[in-house]
Amino acid sequence: MGRFWWKCAALTDVGRVRRSNEDSVYCSAESGVFVVADGMGGHAAGEVASAIASEWIAERLCGACMTMELEQVEDRFRTAFVEAGREILRQAAENATRLGMGTTATVLLLRQDGQYIMGHIGDSRGYRVRDGVLSQITRDHSWVQEQVDRGMITPEQAKNHPQSNIITRALGTEAYPTPDLYDGTIESGDIFLLASDGLTDMLSDEHMLKILEAEEDPERCVARLVKEANLAGGLDNVSALVARIGEGS
C-alpha cells in the first residue's frame, strides 16, 4: 500500500469561562479522517450539532476514500457536509430547544498515497507546518474575514475583533451548505493542525508554531496547545488536533 503514515492526537476542553463545551473532535489514524467542529445554539444544542457533524462526516469519508479518485473524494466531501447539515436541521425541527443550532466543521483526510484533502465550513481552521513555516490552509467564513478581504481592516485588527463571532457559512443554517475544498500533497515531517477559534483567538501563529515544533509527540502537543490557550485566558472552548506525517517503515 502507501508509503506515508501519521501519528495523531486530538483534545477538546471547555476553557476557563464557558460552562459547557460545544466543540467536538474526531481523530482516526486508521481511516486518516480528522474533524474539528464548533457548535452554536443554546440549551446544549451546540454540542449536539457539532457531534452530529463530526460523526456523520467521519462515517461518510472512511474506507474507500483512501483509494478513490480525487474528484470522487471531493464529491464525497460535499455530500457528507450536505447530509450532516440536513441531519442537524432535522433534529432541530424535532426539538424546539434545538432550533437554530449549527456548527462549523473543518475536515482533513490524509491518504497513504501522499494526498491530503481538506473540507471546511465556518471559522474553525486547518493549518500545515512545512519546513518551519505555518500556513493557514482554510479561509474563515466570517464577517471579519470578509472585511479583511475588502481591505476594510487589517489581519491584525481581525484578531480578537468584537464581531469575530459572526460566521457567514455553517452547517444547520441552510439546506445546501457548501464547503470549501483544498487538496495537496503530503511530505514526511509535515504537521497538520485543526483548531477551533478558542485556540486560534488565544494564541498567535508564532506561539502555535513554537509549540508544534517543540512537542514531537502529538498527545503532548495538543495538551500543551490547550494548556497555553487556557493560560492566555481560555475565553472559549478550545480544540486542537495534530497529525504528524512520516514516510516509509
Q: Where on the chain is the footprint of Ca ion (CB under 5 A)?
A: 38, 197-198, 236
Instruction: Give yes or no for a contact between 109 and 32, defined as CB atoms under 8 angstroms apart.
Output: yes
Q: Which is nearer to Ca ion, 140 or 236 (CB)?
A: 236
Contacts of residue 151, Cβ cutoff 8 Å, sequence gap at least 6: none
| Nearest by Cα to 242 from 6, 4, 76 | 6
CB of 232 to Ca ion, least distance (A): 15
Q: Which is nearer to Ca ion, 190 or 236 (CB)?
A: 236
Residue 12 CB-density burial (10 A; 0-12 exposed, 13-18 middle, 19+ buried): buried
CB of 7 to Ca ion, least distance (A): 26
CB of 236 to Ca ion, least distance (A): 4
Q: Which is nearer to Ca ion, 13 or 236 (CB)?
A: 236
For 200-229, b/e burial (b = at least 16 CB within 10 A) is: bbbbeeeebbebbeebeebeebbbbbbebb
Q: Which is nearer to Ca ion, 32 or 39 (CB)?
A: 39
CB of 237 to Ca ion, least distance (A): 5
Three cell numbers written together for 9: 492526537
